[in-house]
Chains A and B, each alone.
Chain A
Amino acid sequence: MFEAILLTVITASTPLVLAALGELVTERSGVLNLGVEGMMIMGAVCAFVAAQLTGSPYAGILAGILGGGIFSLLFGFLTLTLVANQVATGLALTILGLGLSGQIGEAFVGQPGIKLQPIVFPLLSDIPFFGRVLFSQDLIFYLSVALVIGIHWFLFKSRTGLKLRAIGDSHSSAHALGINVIRTRYLAVMFGGACAGLAGAQLSLVYTPQWVENMSAGRGWIALALVVFASWRPWRILAGGYLFGAVGIGQLHAQILAQNLGIVIPSQFLSALPYAATIVVLIIISHNRRTTLINTPASLGKPFVPDR
């Protein structure tokens, strides 16, 4: 029973973790991309369609990553090359993504999907208690954990990561030092898009293997809140992602439990819990202005035009 709940929590949390990780790298470079929801849903539809057409969920994963990554280039072009307002462009990306994905996926509504099968590590998965939870998962889960470690190493131990953080904290200084601000930001935006796309692929290949319009249901926005919650640190994204995932799954179990006990709690109130929890968490994290100021990349959301 406990193991089963843990498994569902992990499945519900993985897309949040992935999307938030990608956004973390984007924001660390000083770019605020509010289009996570749009990139995620594009990833979901691309993954589903590719998996249906080829019969392989792995082709689906690849399509999800590419779909999210390429879609994010639109945002990159507008905000980095044309210096458009990042907040407005991010919203545009979400609106367009929701519309475009509905259009692409229309022919696939109601088709049974192909579920990505777990990869079982033979001996490790026999370890009692956590063996099955950790070592008989699908590829996307393993990728999410690997990404947390990889991004932590990249940001805090590698030279390129240091440059990326420098750009995020002061793009003018980084530019003066000869770092190519725009190119790095393009790469960071695309990485964010690819991660959001992968998160979307998880939704349509693992979480609920089918295509439903708007199936991301605000997860992209929750991922954005998660980055703030994690104060731009990869490990905290992992912890926060599982916390948010647990709230989501917890409300489902609470509904069943309440039903069994004969207590009437309207399902809508419980469904609203993850959104309410996000607000509460944001309040707790943001109320101290000084720590927020220290943690936030100083150039976040500010336009950059290289002076020549």
Chain B
Amino acid sequence: MRIELQKRARVSTLFSVLSPLLALALTLLFGAIMFWLLGKNPVSALYSFFIEPLLEVWSLHELAIKAAPLILIAVGLSVCYRSNNWNIGAEGQFTIGAITGSILPVLYPAWHSPMILPLMLILGMLGGALYAGIPALLKTRFNTNEILTSLMLVYIAQLYLDWLVRGPWRDPQGNNFPITKTFQIEAVVPEILSSSGRAHWAFIFAIVAAVALWFMMRFMLKGFEVSVLGQSERAGRFAGFSARRMVWFSMLLSGALAGLAGISEVSGSIGHLQPIISPGYGFTAIIVAFLGRLNPLGIIASGLVLALTYLGGEAAQLSIGISDKVSRVFQGLLLFFVLSCDTLIHYRIRLIFSGMKTGEVKG
């Protein structure tokens, strides 16, 4: 048996919508098999993984907390990937954004002013953007592969944070724990509905960013420029678009959003800096971007789905005693299925059984 592809005359709108759903269904099916192999009842395992976290209000708040950084980072990445710039170092930009954003509360803990939070968010965005500017500079100036440089910078950023919180920024009253002082109340991103749960404004930032970028991609010249340069740099040149400027634009934009995600997470969810501030949001956001088909509105939905895998992992660990590493397997599987289902959008797939010649198959 062979699998053959036949290019569709035009992109299939049906499969553009169906492919992410198909990918989700396949992931759930494989998940069920995996739970069964682990000796768990697949139905109840999937229930506690994907349904239980949605049944309580506080838990929905947690979902928003986890979805916020994923959506913020992923919408930025979608612009990068659409313009063919492969920034995979969002985890590093997230970390640096968290650090630069924390400069004020860590160094001036006694400064009580409503000015502090906006300044922190701006500093976080600046830090993330500057850090993403390194691979952009190297790509435009030295022709260096941005995939490798942006990834190497992740390790460097994490080590830098580790040094800061164990060294100069460590709280002297912190019982020797590698953490900074807890941020003053003015430096904490406020909760949206504090009566029912912890969800804070980062989720609003994420929705606003997604809608704004959707508008840009759909209705503005810049969005058109992104798509054209991504599909054919040559065609873009004829239209007078500069690929070099696009490297800068997409990298700085995604870096700034990752930085905003970083400082919001540290300020809103953690309250201080510590050696590990992210369960891999920067990498999971890559999956979010693809599951959302690189469309900012789709990314809101896919961000919520992947946030659920984090929550489900924690819940399943407590209720049925499986390791939280299962959630990372789910995330990896999901990306695989998304990428394979996307083939259906551009190609017809047919199975050729032995004994049949290619030419005999018509349709």
* Distance of A275 Cα from B150 Cα, bound (Å): 11
Q: How far is the CB of B36 from chain A (nearest CB, A)?
A: 15
Q: How large is the interface on A (under 10, 10 to 19, 20 to 34, 35 or more residues)?
A: 35 or more
Within residues 37 to 69 of chain A, which ones have a CB less than 8 A from any CB in chain B?
none
Check if A224 sits within 8 Å of B328, measured CB to CB: no
Residue A106 is within 8 A (CB to CB) of chain B in the complex: yes
Check if A282 sits within 8 Å of B159, measured CB to CB: no
Check if A278 sits within 8 Å of B328, measured CB to CB: no
Check if B328 sits within 8 Å of A99, measured CB to CB: yes
* Distance of A288 Cα from B142 Cα, bound (Å): 8
Check if B142 sits within 8 Å of A272, measured CB to CB: no
Q: B160 is contacted by which of A102, A268, A278 (Cβ under 8 Å)?
A: A268
Q: Enumerate chain B residues within 8 angstroms of A218, measured Cβ to Cβ.
A: 151-152, 155
Segment of A8-16, A82-90, A129-137 engaged in the interface with chain B: A82-90
Q: Enumerate chain A residues within 8 angstroms of B3, measured Cβ to Cβ.
A: 81-82
Residue B326 is within 8 A (CB to CB) of chain A in the complex: yes
* Distance of A218 Cα from B330 Cα, bound (Å): 22
Residue A167 is within 8 A (CB to CB) of chain B in the complex: no
Check if B333 sits within 8 Å of A96, measured CB to CB: yes
Check if A95 sits within 8 Å of B283, measured CB to CB: yes
Residue of A nearest to B284 (CB): A95
Q: Enumerate chain B residues within 8 angstroms of A288, measured Cβ to Cβ.
A: 143
Residue B163 is within 8 A (CB to CB) of chain A in the complex: yes
Check if A95 sits within 8 Å of B156, measured CB to CB: no
Q: Enumerate chain A residues within 8 angstroms of B174, measured Cβ to Cβ.
A: none
Check if B155 sits within 8 Å of A98, measured CB to CB: no
Residue A122 is within 8 A (CB to CB) of chain B in the complex: no
Within residues 315 to 339 of chain B, which ones have a CB less than 8 A from any CB in chain A?
323, 325-333, 335-336, 339
Check if B167 sits within 8 Å of A266, measured CB to CB: yes
Q: Enumerate chain B residues within 8 angstroms of A269, measured Cβ to Cβ.
A: 159, 163
Q: A96-B333, A102-B328, A221-B148 are in contact. Are A272 and B143 (CB under 8 A)?
A: no
Residue B314 is within 8 A (CB to CB) of chain A in the complex: no
Check if B152 sits within 8 Å of A279, measured CB to CB: yes
Residue B162 is within 8 A (CB to CB) of chain A in the complex: yes
Residue B220 is within 8 A (CB to CB) of chain A in the complex: no
Residue of A nearest to B34 (CB): A103
Check if A84 sits within 8 Å of B159, measured CB to CB: no
Q: A92-B336, A272-B160, A279-B138 are in contact. Are A87 and B148 (CB under 8 A)?
A: no
Residue B239 is within 8 A (CB to CB) of chain A in the complex: no
Q: Enumerate chain B residues within 8 angstroms of A278, measured Cβ to Cβ.
A: 148, 152
Contact with B along A280-294 (1 / 0, CB 8 A): 001100111100100
**Number of residues of chain B lying within 8 A (CB) of chain A:** 49
* Distance of A81 Cα from B333 Cα, bound (Å): 18
Residue A155 is within 8 A (CB to CB) of chain B in the complex: no
Check if B5 sits within 8 Å of A83, measured CB to CB: yes
Q: A96 is contacted by which of B88, B163, B326, B332 (Cβ under 8 Å)?
A: B332
Residue A228 is within 8 A (CB to CB) of chain B in the complex: yes
Q: Enumerate chain B residues within 8 angstroms of A225, measured Cβ to Cβ.
A: 148, 152
Check if B329 sits within 8 Å of A85, measured CB to CB: no
Q: How far is the CB of A89 from chain B (nearest CB, A)?
A: 6
* Distance of A78 Cα from B339 Cα, bound (Å): 8
Check if A95 sits within 8 Å of B331, measured CB to CB: yes
Check if B147 sits within 8 Å of A87, measured CB to CB: yes
Residue of B nearest to A266 (CB): B163
Check if B332 sits within 8 Å of A82, measured CB to CB: no
Check if B343 sits within 8 Å of A83, measured CB to CB: yes
Q: Enumerate chain B residues within 8 angstroms of A83, measured Cβ to Cβ.
A: 5, 343, 347
Q: B287 is contacted by which of A95, A228, A268, A279 (Cβ under 8 Å)?
A: A95
Residue B144 is within 8 A (CB to CB) of chain A in the complex: yes
Residue B86 is within 8 A (CB to CB) of chain A in the complex: yes
* Distance of A286 Cα from B358 Cα, bound (Å): 43
Q: Enumerate chain A residues within 8 angstroms of B182, measured Cβ to Cβ.
A: none
Q: B339 is contacted by which of A89, A221, A276, A279 (Cβ under 8 Å)?
A: A89
Residue B149 is within 8 A (CB to CB) of chain A in the complex: yes
Q: B149 is contacted by which of A85, A97, A282 (Cβ under 8 Å)?
A: A282
Interface residues of A, Cβ cutoff 8 Å to B: 34, 74, 77-78, 81-85, 87-89, 91-92, 95-100, 102-103, 106, 218, 221, 224-225, 228, 266, 268-269, 271-272, 275-276, 278-279, 282-283, 286-289, 292, 305, 308
Can you name 24 A-B residue pairings with CB atoms under 8 Å?
Answer: A77-B340, A78-B340, A84-B343, A95-B332, A95-B335, A96-B332, A99-B325, A100-B332, A102-B323, A103-B323, A106-B325, A218-B151, A225-B148, A268-B160, A269-B163, A272-B156, A272-B159, A278-B148, A278-B152, A279-B138, A282-B138, A283-B138, A287-B142, A287-B143
Interface residues of B, Cβ cutoff 8 Å to A: 3, 5, 7, 81, 86, 88, 138, 142-145, 147-149, 151-153, 155-156, 159-160, 162-163, 166-167, 283-284, 286-287, 290, 323, 325-333, 335-336, 339-340, 342-343, 347, 349, 358
Known: A221-B151, A224-B148. 4 other contacts (CB 8 A): A81-B3, A82-B3, A82-B343, A99-B325
